[in-house]
Copies of this chain bind each other. A is one copy, B any other.
Amino acid sequence: MSDLETFRAEARAWLEENCPAEMRTPAKGDEDVCWGGRNFVFQSEAQKLWLERCVAKGYTVPDWPKAYGGAGLSPQETKVLRQEMAKLGCRSPLNSFGIWMLGPALLKFGTEEQKVHYMGQIARGEIRWCQGYSEPGSGSDLVSMQTFGEDKGDHWVVNGQKIWTSYADKADWIFCLVRTDKTNKYQGISFLLFDMETPGVTTKPIKLISGNSPFCETFFDNVVVPKHQIVGELNRGWDVAKYLLGHEREMISGMGGDGGVTSIGAAMKAVLTEEPVLRAQMALFDVENLTFRAHGERFMDEWKTGKAHPAYSNLMKYVGTELNKKRNELVMSIGGTQALEWESERSNGGSKARNWLRTKANSIEGGTSEVMLNVVSKRILEMPGA
């Protein structure tokens, strides 16, 4: 047996012994997701137990080094662990922007002390993070941000406003882009970390067209941030942010579909048989969907071997998010009048309609389709002009 197969057997055995039965059922909705953090209320004893056991084993962040709370697994081992978890239907023990975004940035840009401290907290699910990038006046044009940190010797005093801060009202800490030099547009931004309980921080949820409020406006009124709470160099926060945006883009482009190649048409055969023109749209969509899956596979293989253009993830983000919007338009069309329902139990609280509306943000958040096309055109195709 190869080392990897040995690992597979061990992982399988560990999961079977340690993952509570209740945690092997599909999550019913957002409320079943474990986000951790100071104020998180576990939905069940099983949810708590599952998190604790994974934390002890390093399995909340299996590919992070052991020193920072991970299990130190190789990429191959991590993939095997995920496969075994999927086979058993294990829920994710912990969801977190700390895991997905801040962690990778700290690993690349953080000091050893920061890694041990913050990544450890993330791995243990102790601190829930949010991200402070966009501002009302700077959406696509991120570097035009105005939130300013005034240098006061051993600390900054931050004033300004962020928008589109995911779950800011539930987060414990924020990683935040703050202007620390007004004279330099790009190299005048720093990447700061601070506690959302710091005096002067307030949040206000934004209600979306889907009826949900996953985002907030976040206000900073003379917020004191000690100088050691910076990641990377002073005024070079844009490097950290760009690195993170790449990660975010990959995450979002992964949404361009159902995570697989299964057609939604088969389940809707009864409707489609009677609607030949709609069926044709679905058929053409399936061609695009199969294409995007193959494209994603090829991109990942090229990315891993260093053959992909650095800006290629922008293309995938564009294609994937536009496809996902199209998919949801079709889901609504095929769902017909039932998909219009907004609150009924029959419609699972309007889940089709709300998901459809939610997908409209895909091509805006993490860089609009327009910005993606600009980047592809300039950086990959090398089209002339500013």
Contacts and interface: CB of A to CB of B under 8 A. Distances in A.
Interface of A: 276-277, 279-281, 283-284
A284 B280 CA distance: 11
Most B CB contacts (10 A, CB to CB) among A277, A279, A284 go to A277
Give the copy number: 2
Nearest to A278: B280
A349 to B, nearest CB: 33
Contact of A279 (B276, B281, B284): B276
A132 B284 CA distance: 45
Contacts of A280: 276-277, 279-281
Sorted from nearest, which 9 A-B pairs have the closest CB atoms? A280-B280, A277-B280, A276-B276, A277-B283, A276-B280, A276-B279, A277-B284, A280-B281, A279-B280
A322 to B, nearest CB: 20
A124 B340 CA distance: 66
Contacts of A281: 280
Nearest to A277: B280
A279 B281 CA distance: 12
Contacts of A284: 277
Contacts of A279: 276, 280
9 contacts: A276-B276, A276-B279, A276-B280, A277-B280, A277-B283, A277-B284, A279-B280, A280-B280, A280-B281
